[in-house]
Structure 1
Amino acid sequence: MSKKGDTWISAILYMALGIVAIALILSAGLPLIQNMRDRNTISQTKDIFANLDKSIRTVVDQGPGAIQIVPLTISSGELYVDADPFLQNREDVVLWRLKTNIQVVEENYKKREGNLMIYVEPTLVKGQYWTVIELNYLTFADLTLNATGFGNPIMGSGSFSIKKTGKFSTDNRPYIDFTVS
């Protein structure tokens, strides 16, 4: 056999070995990177929700016409105001959900962090979950989403205008209007 042929065969084998090695590294690394990205998104959303809760409670404690503007960036997942995407007919909740492969809490368990409730709901795909962060105001305020151009689910960047209307529900909860811009 000639030396030229040996060189080409060696080059092709090394190239094939390199491609296999890169494929193995990517197949193992990409799910880990996605899981880290999801954990970071969940952590950021908890911070956003804590700030949102503080603003809602501040508006409720103030007089009629009180307004708070809250900047909002939903980079992943879906945000719902005064609606429940799981069709459980619940109102007066602010809820965010993200479909992910990580399980931040056990199924059928709700973890409370301050006023935040964190839990997972199963999806139709095995090993995938809806990670949910929820603020529930059922006994505190009557929320209404004024969806001028925006509706549930809310995604992307913008801001919430949270306003106390000065009116009260039949069970004496103040009406709070959310406007997304």
Structure 2
Amino acid sequence: MLYLASRSPRRADLLARLGVQFGLLDLDIPEVRLPGEPPADYVSRVAREKAGAGLLKVMSNPSAVVLGSDTEVVLDDEVFGKPTDRDDARRMLEALSGKTHEVITAVWLVSAGQELREMSTTRVRFGTLDQAMLDGYLAGDEWEGKAGAYAIQGAAQAFIAHVEGSPSGVMGLPLFETAHALRAYGLFAAGGAQ
């Protein structure tokens, strides 16, 4: 049985696109970068912690496989997590304006006898954002709960000049890498679920 260790409705929607059956695990894992921790290591560690905590919740099922994932926006070694408020969201978007940043997503699958990690790094270039664009965007709530204060599938698409890599990875679950990991567990075939 596959479980998704995530509160994110976007991740659940993306995983459902692969046609696999899964249960949801609601976990609260602290997302705090350690001093000096490289961004990719941080993203991988948090995703692994989510998967591991999820596995502990379903240990009574010996065939359980838990998927944990984490996504962060990175610019010049600074990790832009979820903004704390509208001012923090503005700070992030102003920093990303006119620049290319990376969106790093880690996917871990863990079970009682196996672990597998996949990583996705996507380069996203924002156009220059003027104050009117930022004011209009921040008047809504799309920025809330989003790494880097934006969702690639939402109104912020108007900010994005170029994407190199996985759009689904920017949304929170890179489908190519996730399908590869699920295939290694025997949970996914090219045409959908096994």
The structure with the greater share of residues assigned to strand is 1
Bigger Rg, structure 1 or 2: 1
TM-score scaled to structure 2, two decimals? Answer: 0.23
